Structure 1
Amino acid sequence: MAAFMVRRLVISVFTLLAASFIVFWGTSIAGDPMSDLRGIQDEGDAQQQIDARSRRMRLGDPIFVRYLAWLGALLTGDLGENKFGQSVSGILGPAVSATMQLVVAATVLAIVLGVTIGIVSALRQYSGFDYSLTFAAFLFFSLPVFWVAVMLKQYAAIDFNNWLRDPEIAVPVIVVLGLVSGLAWMAIVGGDRQRRLTSFGVAAVVTALGLWALSASGWFTDPGLGLIAVVILSLGGAVGATFLLAGFRYRQPLTAALVTAGIGIVFYLFSEPVLEDPNWLMILLLAVIAVGVGLVVGRYVGGIHRRQAMPAAALSAFFTGGVIFIDYLLQAYSTYLSRVRGRPISTIGAGTPNFQGDFWESGLDSIGHLILPTTALLLISFAVYTRYSRASMLEVMNQDYVRTARSKGLTERTVVTKHAFRNALIPITTLMAFDFGAVIGGAVITERVFGWQGMGHMFIKGLQEVDPPPVMAFFLVAGGSIVVFNMLADIAYAYLDPRIRVG
C-alpha cells in the first residue's frame, strides 16, 4: 500500500507540474493585463501604475522564467500576489470556504439520494416507479443549469416569499399534491392491483389531510415539530435503521435501536440549557456522544447479536439527533422570518449583509442562501448518480455470487445490502471521487448566477483580468483535490472488493 501511494504521488506531481505550466502559459497570453490602466486620462499617473504592475508581474521576463519564479515561491508556501498587489492566499481562503459551503451539501445529497433511489429503481425494474424515475433522470440531466437557476429564483424564491405573506394552501393544490403522492407511493410499493390501489389511497389521503392541517394551523409562519413529532420520527427512524442494517429476524437489534431513540427523546426533554445557543463544536461533540451511546447500548443490549445491534443503534442515535437539530431550527424560524422581513429564501450571495443572530438564526440564514444553488446543483448530479447506481446494481444482481447467496437461504435484504450493494458501489466510487475532486474547484455557472464569491468566481475573474496567480491557486486546489480523491478511490476498491489488491 505504501509503495503504491508513493508511486501514485510521484506520477501525480509530475503530471501537475506539466499541467500547471500549460495553465500559466495560457493565462499569461490570454490578453493584456494593462488594459484597465491604458484608459486613465492622467498619462503620468497611468505610466507609473503600468511600470509598478509590470515589475510586480515580471512582464519583462519570458513566460518560462515567470513560471519558475512562481514555482519557487510556491515551494516556500507563498502563492504570490495578484496584479493589484493583494495576497492570493488572502483571496483563496474565503473562496474555498464559500465553495465548500455551496458544493459539499449538494454533492453529499446527490450521492445519498441518487444511489438510494437508483438501487430501489433497479430492484423495481420495469415497474411504474422505474419508468417514472428514468424519465425524471433524463429530464433533469438535460436541463441547463443556468435555466434551472433562473426558474428557481423566480418560483422557489420570489413567488414562495410572496406566498409566505398569507401562507394558505388552496384546496385544488392539496388535491393535486395528494394525487401525486399517491401515484409515487403506488409506484414505490408495487405489488398486485389491490396492493397498489391501497397504497395510492392511503398515501393520497394522508398527504392531503397533512397539508390541510398544516395550512389551517398556520404552521408555515410558526413551524416546529414538538414532542409528539420528535417521538414518532425518532422511533420510526429506529425501526428503519434496524430494517436497513440488521433486519427483523432477531429482536435484540430492534430493542437496542429503540432504547437508543428513547435515550435521545429523554435528552430532548432536558436539552434547552445545552442547545439554547450552541456552536458547531458543541453540535459535533453531541453527535459523537450520541453515536458512542448507540454503540454502547448496542453492545450491551444486543447480546450475541451485538454486531448487528451496534450499527443499528448508532444510526438510530444519529437520526434522533438530527430530528432534534431540525426541531430547534424550526423553533427559531418565526424570529428569523421577522428579521429578514418575511423573505427567508435568498436569491443572491452567501449571507444576509450585516445579519447577526444566535446559532439557530445564523443557521437558518445560511440555509436560506444555500437552498437555491444547492437545489440547482443537486438536480443534475442526482440524475447522474441515479442512472449509474441503477445500471451497476442491475449488473451485479445477475452475477453468480448473488444467485449463490440466494440459494443458501439468505434473506433478500441480506443479499441486497451485504452482497450486491457492496459490489455495485465499485464503479460508483470512481464517479464519487471525480465528482468530489471537481466540485471543490467551484461551480462556475451556479456561482455566477447566485452571486457566490467562490473558487469559480476567482477563476473566471483571474482569466478575465489576465492575472496568473489567482488562476494558478485555483488550479492547485482543484488539481490537488482530484489527485487525492482518486487515490482514495483506489484504496476504497480494495475495501469494497477483497479480490482487488492495491499494489
Structure 2
Amino acid sequence: MLRFIARRLFAGLATLFVSTFLMYLLVSVSIRPLDDLIESSAPNKQQLIAQRTELLDLNTPVIVRFFKWLASFVQGDFGTAWRTGQHVNSQLGTAMVSTIQLVLAASVLAIILGVGVGIISALRQYSTFDYIITFTSFLLYSLPAFWVAVLLKQWGAIGFNDFLKDPYLSALGIAGMAVIFGVLWMLAVGGDARRRLINFAGAAGITAALYTYLQVSNWWLEPNINPILLAVLGAGAAVGFTLLSTGLRNRRALGAAGTTVVIGVIAYFPLQYVFYNESFNWWWLLGLAALAAGIGILIGRLWGGPDWRQSSRAAALTAITMGGLTFVDQAMLYWGDYLKMSQIRGRPIATVGDRTPNLGGDFWISTLDTYTHLLLPTVALMLISFAAYTRYSRASMLEVMNQDYIRTARAKGLTERTVVMRHAFRNSLIPLATIVPMDLVAVFGGAIITEQVFGRPGMGQLFVKSLSMAEIDPVMAYLVVTAALAVLANIVADLIYAALDPRIRVNS
C-alpha cells in the first residue's frame, strides 16, 4: 500500500511539474500585461512601459521566469497580484474557503440523493417512477447553469422572502403537496394495489400533518426542533439506518440505534449550556460530532452479539444525525434575531456574495448568514450534479443486478434487502469511484458560472478576474491547485476501488 502511494505520488509530482511548466508557457503567451499602456496616449508612455516591464521582469526569458516563480511557489510564496498589490496567498485562501463551502455542501447532497434515487429507479425499472426520474434527470442535466441560477434567485430568494412577510399556507396548497409526496412515495415503493394505497395514504397524511404543524406553530418565523420533534425524527433515522444496514429483524442493531435516540434526547438539555459558551466555534462542533460517533460505536459494542459492528454502524449514524438536528435546532433559535437585523431587513435568503457586509453578531448569527448565502448556489449545483449521479448509479445498478452472483444470492434464499444492500449496492459504487473524485475537482475549479451569477468570490471568479487583468501569479496558483487536486483525485479513486472490490490490489 505505502509503496503504491509513494509510486503514484512520485508519478503525480512529475506530471504536475510538466503540466505546470506547459501552463506557465501558455499563460505567459496568452496574457498581455502591456496592452493597456501600448494603446495609451499618455505622454510618458514609454517610461510607464519600461517601469511595468521591470516590475514584471518581462525582459527575462520565460523559462527563467518559470523557475524563479517555481522556487518561490514551493517555499509557500504564491506571488503578488501586481495590479492590486494583494498577496496571492490571501486571495487563494479566501477563494478556496468560499469554493470548499459550496462544493462540499452541493456534492454531498447530490451524491446522497442522486445515488439513492438512481438505485431506487433501477430497482423499479420501467415503472412510472423510473420514467419520471429518467425524464427529470435528463431535464435537469440539460438545463443551463445560469438559467437555473436565475430561476432560483426569482423563486427561491425573492419569492420566499416575500412569503416571509405573511407566511401562510392555504389548505388547498397543503393538500396539493400531500398528494404530490403521496404519489411519489407510492410509485417509489411499488407493490400491489393495496400496498400502494396504504403507502399513498401514509405519505400524504404525514406530509399534510407536517405542513399543518409548520403553519399553526408559526414555524417559518420561529423555527425550532424541540425535544419531542427531535425524538420523532431521531426514531425515524434509527429505523431507516437499521433497515438499510441490517434489516429490522436484527434486534440488537435496532436496540442500539433506539438507545442512541434516547441518549440524544437526554443530551439535548446539557448541550444547550455548551452551545451558549461564547468560545463555541467549528472546532467545538467537530469535536462534538466525533464524540457522538464514538458514543454510537460504544453503544453498538455494548449491545454485543456476533454482528456488533453492524449495530455500531447503525448507532453511530443515528448519533451523528441526532447531533446534527440538535445543532440545527440551536441555530434556529437565532432566526428571529437574524431577521430583525438592520442589514437583513426581514429578507434572509441572499442572492449575491458569501456573507453580509458589516453584519456582526456571534457564532450563530454568522453561521446563519453563511448558510443563507450558501443556499441558492448549493441548490443550483446540486440539481445538475444530482441528475448526473442519478443516471450513473441507475445504469451501474442495472448492470450489477443482471450478474450471475445476484441470481445465485437470490437462489440461496437471501432476502431482497440483503441481496441489494450486501451484494449489489457495494459493487454498483465501483464506477462512481472514478466519476465522483474527478467531478469534485471539476466543480472545485469550474463552478465559474454559478459563482458569477451569485457573486461568490470563489476559485472560478479568482481565475476569471486574474486572467482578465493579466495577473499571472493568481492564474498559476489556481491552475496548480486544480491540477494537484486532479492528481490526488486519481490516487483516491484507485484506493476507493481497492476498498470496494477485494479483487483489486493496489500493491500489485
TM-score, structure 2 as length reference? 0.94
> What is the letter of the counterpart of residue 252 of structure 1?
R
The within-5 A match list for 1:44-443 is 44=44, 48-84=47-83, 85-277=85-277, 278-339=280-341, 340-443=344-447
The percent of aligned pairs where both chains have the same amino acid is 49
**C-alpha separation in 2, matches of 1:293 and 1:76:** 42
**C-alpha separation in 2, matches of 1:289 and 1:258:** 18
**C-alpha separation in 2, matches of 1:400 and 1:322:** 41
**Secondary structure at the counterpart of residue 29 of structure 1:** helix
Q: Tell me, which stretches of 5 or more residues in structure 2 are unaligned?
A: none
- 1:31 Cα deviation after fit: 4.2
- 1:41 Cα deviation after fit: 6.7
- 1:343 Cα deviation after fit: 0.7
> What is the letter of the counterpart of residue 82 of structure 2?
K
Q: Tell me, which stretches of 5 or more residues in structure 1 are unaligned?
A: none
Residue pair 1:440, 1:481 contacting (<8 A) in 2 also: no
- 1:442 Cα deviation after fit: 4.4
Residue pair 1:438, 1:481 contacting (<8 A) in 2 also: no
**C-alpha separation in 2, matches of 1:10 and 1:292:** 36
**C-alpha separation in 1, matches of 2:362 and 2:73:** 40
Residue pair 1:245, 1:308 contacting (<8 A) in 2 also: yes
**Secondary structure at the counterpart of residue 270 of structure 1:** helix
**C-alpha separation in 2, matches of 1:382 and 1:421:** 18
Residue pair 2:301, 2:311 contacting (<8 A) in 1 also: yes
- My pick for the range that moved more, 483-492 or 462-471, is 462-471
**C-alpha separation in 2, matches of 1:204 and 1:412:** 26
**Secondary structure at the counterpart of residue 106 of structure 1:** helix
RMSD (Å), alpha carbons: 1.8
1:25-69 superposed Cα distances (whole Å, 9 cap, x missing partner): 22222243123445767533x655433321222111233332232
- 1:364 Cα deviation after fit: 1.0
- 1:230 Cα deviation after fit: 0.7
**C-alpha separation in 2, matches of 1:297 and 1:69:** 57
- 1:112 Cα deviation after fit: 1.1
**C-alpha separation in 2, matches of 1:214 and 1:82:** 50
Residue pair 1:256, 1:302 contacting (<8 A) in 2 also: no
**C-alpha separation in 2, matches of 1:116 and 1:381:** 13
Instruction: Tell me which residue corresponds to 2:32.
Output: 32
1:226-275 superposed Cα distances (whole Å, 9 cap, x missing partner): 12101111122112121111212231111111111111110002321111
1:113-135 superposed Cα distances (whole Å, 9 cap, x missing partner): 11111111111112221111111
**C-alpha separation in 2, matches of 1:70 and 1:270:** 54
TM-score, structure 1 as length reference? 0.95
